[in-house]
Amino acid sequence: MNAFRSHWVDWLKAIIVALLFATIIRAFFFISYEVRGESMMPSAYDGERFIINKVGYNFVEPDRFDLIVFHATETEDYIKRVIALPGDTVQYVDDRLYINGEYVDEPFLVERVEEGNRMPYTYDFAYPQVIPEGHVFVLGDNRPYSKDSRMIGPISYESIVGKVDMRFWPITAAGWMNDAKE
């Protein structure tokens, strides 16, 4: 009976250590995120799940075209693509992105823009916008159906949860995000 009890105590210790380890990982390093809505199609579809790296931006700043998750409100997080960085001047003219007055290609939009829509995929901004220090300008890849920096303004670094590193659901599409430029 004593050996039986010792066996269960060992298992209980192992389970407690595993739960503690998982809690620490989730709280400080990585978190899962489920996409809600169609604002990031075709890069991310409703119901897909991703692993978000919470520590990466503690050491480096976001890069243009990173996919990030951020606190949009007190109760909602959004996934969007970084388009402009602090100090950049961003503008859309004739469905083309201009950063600091120079055209910037968005290869992840080619398929969507070429679908034959007669209306602009990304409407012109009324005026060039300068991104303040400590902020990024984000857009959804499905521009006609995205609530993003065009409506809610630039996103502060403090509200960024982390960078999208890996898709893990659906299992058939699982994999690393190739520097989140897909």
Across the chain, which has 182 residues, the per-10-residue mean pLDDT values are 70 79 64 79 84 80 90 88 94 86 82 56 72 94 86 92 82 66 44
What does DSSP assign to residue 109? G
Which pair of tokens denotes residue 102?
Answer: 């120079």
Q: Which of 39, 43, 146, 149 is catalytic?
A: 39
For the chain, the domain total comes to 1
Q: Which of 54, 80, 146, 163 is catalytic?
A: 80
- Cα–Cα dist 122/141, whole Å: 10
Of 82, 27, 79, which is closest to residue 48 (Cα–Cα)? 79
Q: In this structure, is residue 137 part of a structural domain?
A: yes
Domain coverage including residue 69: 2-173
- Cα–Cα dist 181/172, whole Å: 19
CATH assignment at residue 123: 2.10.109.10
- The reply to whether 39 belongs to the active site is yes
Q: In this structure, is residue 25 part of a structural domain?
A: yes
Entry pTM: 0.77
Judge whether 79 and 62 are in contact, CB under 8 Å: no
Three-point CA angle 30, 62, 87, nearest 5°:
155
